[in-house]
Amino acid sequence: MIWAAVLLFMAIASLLGGISHGFVTSEKINAMLWHPLNLPLALTNGLVIVGVTYDIKGSASLHIVLPIIVVVSVLFFALTIYFPEGFIVFIVYQLLAMLFALATYVTLAYRQQLPGAWLITAGILISIAGAVIQTQKTLHVQIIWQFNNNGLYHIVQMVGVIVWVIGLRKAFITQGNRP
């Protein structure tokens, strides 16, 4: 359920981001879309931390970690309202979540404690590569259409998410659960 919630919040953020970036709207409408977008982004990153914690500590950790992460995610959302140009706050929050996930899944993969952990690790590394691409403001590539750094980030991020989900599915099935 945790990983399903991650994907749900990611889909909500993607929908709002797609509307915000994909359609020409007034600045007021764009701002109205952008502010709520930060909440599902915050919850996505926070629930990644919860999912990783579950994978290393089991379900007993959920009653402690989940409420803390929900509060942290809401605080992150509040920060983005008060500092609307503070996208760096999101970058730091996402970076911390991804580094925690990366270190955990590399360890689980190396110790062979979680089937699919190497695929999850690869998905995280692909996602981090996408984030690096997003920082390259002058990057533009022509692949049928013209893509800037943000467009390329989202394409790479999609690949990373797919690889990550394949790894999670392998772990889930191997642990005796059905998708």
90-130: per-residue pLDDT in tens? 778 888 899 999 999 999 999 999 999 999 999 999 998 98
Tell me the pTM: 0.82
Tokens 């929900």 belong to 70
pLDDT class for 58, splitting at 50, 70, 90? confident
Sequence-ordered list of residues with C-beta below 8 angstroms from that of 168, at least 6 positions apart, any chain: 3, 116, 120
Query: Domain residues of the chain, as ranges?
Result: 1-97, 114-179
Per-residue pLDDT tens over the stretch 14-39: 888 777 777 777 888 877 777 788 88
| pLDDT for the residue 86 | 63
Q: Does residue 13 have a pLDDT over 80?
A: yes
Per-residue pLDDT tens over the stretch 60-89: 888 899 999 999 999 888 888 787 666 677
Q: Does residue 178 have a pLDDT over 50?
A: no
Return the amino acid letter for 8: L
Strands (E), the chain: 140-143, 145-148
Per-residue pLDDT tens over the stretch 120-164: 999 999 998 988 888 888 888 888 888 888 888 888 989 999 999
Strands (E), 22-170: 140-143, 145-148
